[in-house]
Structure 1
Amino acid sequence: MKVIGLMSGTSVDGIDAALVEIKGKNLNIEVSLLDSVMLPYPTSLATQILAVAGGCALSLADLASLDDAIAREFAAGAQYLAQKHADVALIGSHGQTVYHRPPGLSLPQQLGYTLQLGRGELIANLTGIPTVSNFRNPDIAAYGQGAPLVSKVDAALLTDMTKPRCIQNIGGIANLTYLPPQKEPNWLEKITGWDTGPGNVLLDLAVKQLTQGRKSFDRNGDWASQGQPAHELVADWLEQDFFRQSPPKSTGRELFGTEYLDRCAQRAQGLQLSAADWLATLTELTVGAIVNNYRAFLPQMPAEVILCGGGSNNLYLTKRLQAKLGEEITVLTTDTLGINSKFKEALAFAVLAYWRFDNHFPGNLPQVTGAKQEMLLGSIYLPSG
């Protein structure tokens, strides 16, 4: 089956669209990436999304209009690929997260809440292709975090027979899947994963502030590589509750956004950090959060760390991660395993859609999300007419 996966993360840079061919059932699947494209959001739409995700109020009418506008952008990504390739049977759309509240922040039995805009029913009708969306809500309904959701896909595609691995996604927010060796008894039940904290989000915000919006990210980490991190400042930041919280856990811009960055900047006052020092220090926070989470919560350190997401292209960040982990752990990207690191998340939601629509196979791992049971993930929307 040919499936298009659509994804836009917390960086809000645009829509990643991946056309994949999937064969097999359940965990025994083969996935081939046939084509991909990244379509940037129009600047005005990206600005509006970031404002809403940052807590700006809007009317219900404006919310509906934003929902439709995002859906049209997602549909455009799917249409670009569908027009080039015949027989696309399904779309899996993650949508654009604008709000995420993990469960139990104020009440022990409180259900979480998550909102992804870009409604699947509009995508289905604009493209004429059945669409699966709202992947996170079924896990939330089972008292899960609704994130991370790609761990079962990682299990199907990236588990090694003899070596423990961490699949480390570094998008706006960073998350991991720990994969024990497949030779271990009950290996699937031993998989774990969670959000480790900020990935690129604080770095991107800082670059925009430093350049008055002329740049949106630090390409290859070149700017940060010219600075020196303030390690005492990072150590202070890492005392924050989220980094010490035991999994399952998830987060987003609600915690690691502009206000958080401003508080970090206040802590840095008086240290006379250059712009490069500031970016190096924020990079060290992302790296330190990842490594500290490994050491605190993994059953064992991995033999390999496999990177994906936009942060895998940040050479300075990956160099610092390798240095923190030590030479005994190999840091690679999913590209070395045959999965495009840029489009790995979009590919994952194509697989989740396939499991929901064609296999009726639960897509979550309860030990990762904290859900009370396995769930079929996503709502199915068929085009009318």
Structure 2
Amino acid sequence: MDGELFIGLISGTSADGIDAALVRFDGEHDCRLLLGRTYPWDPALRARLIELGQGAAAQSIEELGTLDVRIAEAFATAALQLIEEAGVGAPQVRAIGSHGQTVRHRPQGADFDGRHPFTWQLGDGNLIAERTGIATVADFRRRDMAAGGQGAPLLPALHAAMLRSEYEDRAVLNLGGIANFTLLPAGAGNRVRGFDTGPANALMDAWCERMLGQPYDADGAFAARGRVDAPLLARLRSDPWFALPPPKSTGREQFHLPWLQERLDGTERPEDVQATLMELTATTVADALLALQPATRRVLICGGGVHNARLLQRIGAHLPGMAIESTAAHGMDPDFVEAIGFAWLARQTLAGLPGNLPGVTGARGPRVLGVVYPAG
């Protein structure tokens, strides 16, 4: 499959747009982003997706079925726009890897008893394949979960292939709606680990939108106006989820505005809450890394949080002696690492190769992930 083109599509926890990446792969450790774009959601649809992601109940089965189609249509449109902008014809693209939109992720089951774990990403792969004329691979997470895994995170295998060093311990930190680490000890023979650490941008974005009507806190300016509220930070950090050992994963259904509001006493200034949420992200990220790979020399940042200089400064303050830098310094655009990852996972699936790392997700073994929907 060397030299072939793949498209990766994902809308993450923040649902701030559909990330689309056109990628060329040349060998196991060589991928090149030819074009990356983020296409906006219809505002009303985005608002509903965020509500569902934060635990709101679906109005009906009919609503879920309709959303499955609407999301797929948006993903198909994004793929078609991408190849048009790139000047590439659909027949030149081997496959699309579509993550879809997560509306619920319950690795411990709805009753948190571990008996019936599930994860649900909407965006019908049949429709994407039919509308684009390109073979589509979707539903990546559920096979890993069926094998006893968390179904997440799935990108550590890509990080290991593309960003590992022979000479230094590294960590890849994705700062999306949720923060997650891939720990890459030096040398190919050492075990790769990966796990979620808790909220990254999701809570900060939600609070900023609630207080200022802005979808995110540009460069941490809102947080910079406030001070960390130590008692509030302690209440937030006391959530038992943070003490769970890996493998672990989470989402908006765990960390959402009602979760935050339950821990407010009503006297806090809005800007102090924002500063405290930023510190929650920074401290929980640092705690996890220092506990599990304290000899890390370099932390490579990707995801939307890479643009928040104040957040990166706070993370760096808790990780003295470690270099904090963008994945861009290592040839991967930080805004499209996840989209590149789902292009890579589609490539793995079509080659009959595993996409998960059992040591990361907790699955019983390597599994070929996803369902293939042939081109029309």
1:36 alignment partner AA: G
1:1-385 mapped onto 2 (5 Å cutoff): 1-24=4-27, 28-53=28-53, 54-83=55-84, 84-86=87-89, 87-103=92-108, 110-182=115-187, 186-187=189-190, 190-211=191-212, 214-266=213-265, 269-270=266-267, 273-296=268-291, 298-326=292-320, 328-357=321-350, 359-384=351-376
Q: Deviations over 1:245-294 (max 9, x none)?
A: 0000011111101211211333xx33xx4332221111001111111112
1:176 and 1:367 map into 2 onto residues whose CA distance is 13
In structure 2, how many angstroms separate the alpha carbons of the residues matched to 1:289 and 1:364?
A: 25
Mark the runs of 5 or more structure 1 residues left unpaired by the alignment.
none
Identity in percent: 40
Q: What amino acid sits opposite 1:284 in the alignment? A: E
Counterpart of 1:153, as a letter, is L
Query: Structure 1, residues 127-175: CA drift from partner, whole Å, max 9, x if none?
Result: 0000000000110100100000000000000001111111000100111
What SS does structure 2 have at the residue aligned with 1:166?
strand
The separation in 1 between residues aligned to 2:262 and 2:304, in whole angstroms, is 25
The residue type equivalent to 1:174 in the other structure is: A
Deviation digits for residues 178-233 of structure 1, max 9, x if unmatched?
A: 001026xx22xx1101000001010011011102xx31101111121222111332
| Structure 2: distance between partners of 1:109 and 1:285 | 27
In 2, Cα distance between equivalents of 1:167 and 1:251: 18
Q: How far apart, CA to CA, are the structure 1 residues paired with 2:111 and 2:279? A: 30
Query: TM-score with structure 2 length normalisation?
Result: 0.94
Alignment check: 8 A CA contact 1:103 1:143 kept: no
What amino acid maps onto 2:362 in structure 1? G
Q: Which runs of 4+ in 1 moved over 4 A?
A: 104-109
Structure 1 residues 51, 107: CA separation in 2 closer, same or farther (over 3 Å shift)?
closer
Answer whether contact 1:103 1:144 (CA < 8 A) is retained: no
Check conservation: 2:110, 2:116, Cα contact below 8 A: no
Q: TM (normalized to structure 1)?
A: 0.92
Number of residues of Structure 1 aligned to a counterpart in Structure 2: 368
Deviation at 1:107, TM superposition (A): 7.2
